Amino acid sequence: MKAWDTYNNSSEADVFFEVRSASDVAIYNAVNYPNPFSSNTVFTFQRNSGEPVDVEVKVFTVAGRVVQSLGASSLTDRFVQIAWDGRDHDGNELSNGVYFYKVIVKSMDRQKSAEILGKLAVMR
């Protein structure tokens, strides 16, 4: 793209975009914020369609043990937010360190799914 101002000064910029099919379930821009966090965080992501989906977020230790599993059903939003208080299954606060999370999105009929992995840090 090239544009000029009222003084005939020009500027150029490249614009990139991606066209994706809406027939599959897809996840984009999955992050948790804030990261690192001390007391709570919010997992956020975008998805490609407005059809209802079930969402599950699993949090793992570096060794691969599941410490928490969060879920939400029948979501129709394209921008999804799932809050987490930083506690494990037993209600205990997680120790300082690095953890992994997996966001799993499934269509209501369970025929289509998508998942994405991420990393988070706890610093108290």
**CATH number, domain containing residue 57:** 2.60.40.4070
Q: What is the structure's pLDDT at 20?
A: 62
Q: What is the structure's pLDDT at 64?
A: 93
Q: What is the structure's pLDDT at 118?
A: 95
Alpha-carbon gap, residue 101 to 68, rounded angstroms = 9
- 105 near 28, Cβ under 8 Å? no
The amino acid sitting at 23 is S
Q: Of 105, 112, 120, 99, nearest to 35 (Cα)? A: 120
Whether the full predicted model's pTM is greater than 0.75, yes or no, is: yes
Query: How does pLDDT run across 83-118, given as a tens digit for each residue?
Result: 999 999 999 999 999 999 999 999 888 788 899 999
The model's confidence at residue 12, banded by pLDDT at 50, 70 and 90, is very high
- 89 near 33, Cβ under 8 Å? no
Query: How does pLDDT run across 27-79, given as a tens digit for each residue?
Result: 999 999 999 999 999 999 998 888 899 999 999 999 999 999 999 999 999 99
Alpha-carbon gap, residue 92 to 118, rounded angstroms = 22
Helix (H) or strand (E) holding 33, with range, is: strand 27-33
Q: In total, how many domains does the chain have?
A: 1
